[in-house]
Amino acid sequence: MTFDRSIKIAPSILSADFANFGQEIRAIEDQGCDWVHVDVMDGHFVPNLTFGPAMCKAIRPHIRTVMDVHLMIAPVDPYIEAFAEAGADVITAHLEAGPHIHRTLQAIRATGKKSGIAINPGTPAEAVAPVLDLVDLVCVMTVNPGFGGQKFIHSQIDKVLSLRKMIDDRPIHIEIDGGITPETAPLVAAAGADVLVAGSGVFSGGSVAKPDVYGQNIAAIRAAAEAAQS
């Protein structure tokens, strides 16, 4: 993975057909996505359950781009090694998942993977400042984590602006997760985001039998973001 600030579209397979991940991943990659976003939920840190490292390992051979694993689990430290072994390229943990985010990020870096920190809508941008040297990506949640298809929280845009200033010329991605559509993508791109996660925004209306719709959705989000990127 080389670093740049070009717009990257990362469909969340939380909105894909869970019985058909292999073909779904092939479809979104053939249709031009940049990363594949994998939402891991534990029914404890967030009120929903998805899958663990075994599923990540099973889908890894189907991913030709970047496997972006978003861990919504607490505790997180005992599972980092397993997700690294499952083949994640980026491992993102939540700042709110425990008292020792610095240790968590050190543990992710120790696996040789890219490290990400995610912050919930109620967490200020300043909270990531003390650990910026340990991260390759900051994920700003623009919904409360747990479910796809929620409404974008507009108050998070100022947070993206603050983060962009704080990051300055460091090689750190700003990822946005939740409620991304062609309407909201330009708002966060203009504020400084480069990785846009989209679940319902990419998968709605399409299927592996109708992959063109995925392509149209990806292209619409990308075009709107690129036109607004600062």
92 binds ligand DX5 (CB under 6 A): no
Q: How near is the Cβ of 28 to ligand DX5 at its closest, in Å?
A: 13
CA 151 → CA 92, 107, 169, 207, distances in Å? Answer: 22, 33, 31, 23
Cα gap 38→139, rounded to integer Å: 13
198 binds ligand DX5 (CB under 6 A): yes
Q: Which amino acid would we find at residue 49? A: L
Q: How near is the Cβ of 195 to ligand DX5 at its closest, in Å?
A: 11
Contacting range for ligand DX5; rule: CB under 6 A; set: 9-17, 56-64, 73-81, 160-168 = 9-17
Instruction: HSE, CB side, 13 Å, CA atoms: give it for residue 79.
Output: 22
149 binds ligand DX5 (CB under 6 A): yes
Cα gap 93→13, rounded to integer Å: 18
Tell me if residue 136 is catalytic.
no
Among 143, 157, 174, 188, binds ligand DX5 (CB under 6 A): 143
Binding partner at 201 among Zn ion, ligand DX5, none, C-beta below 5 to 8 Å by kind: ligand DX5
Q: Which of 34, 39, 42, 68 is catalytic?
A: 39
Among 15, 115, 156, 184, binds ligand DX5 (CB under 6 A): 15
Q: Which is nearer to ligand DX5, 125 or 141 (CB)?
A: 141
Which residues, at least 6 apart from 216, have a Cβ–Cβ distance to it below 8 Å?
Answer: none
Tell me if residue 42 is catalytic.
no
Which residue has the closest beta carbon to ligand DX5?
Answer: 199
Beta bridge partners of 9: 196
Q: Could you tell me which of 51, 77, 48 has the C-alpha nearest to residue 145?
A: 48
CA-based Rg of the chain, rounded to a whole angstrom? 16
Q: Could you give the residue numbers annotated as active site?
A: 39, 177
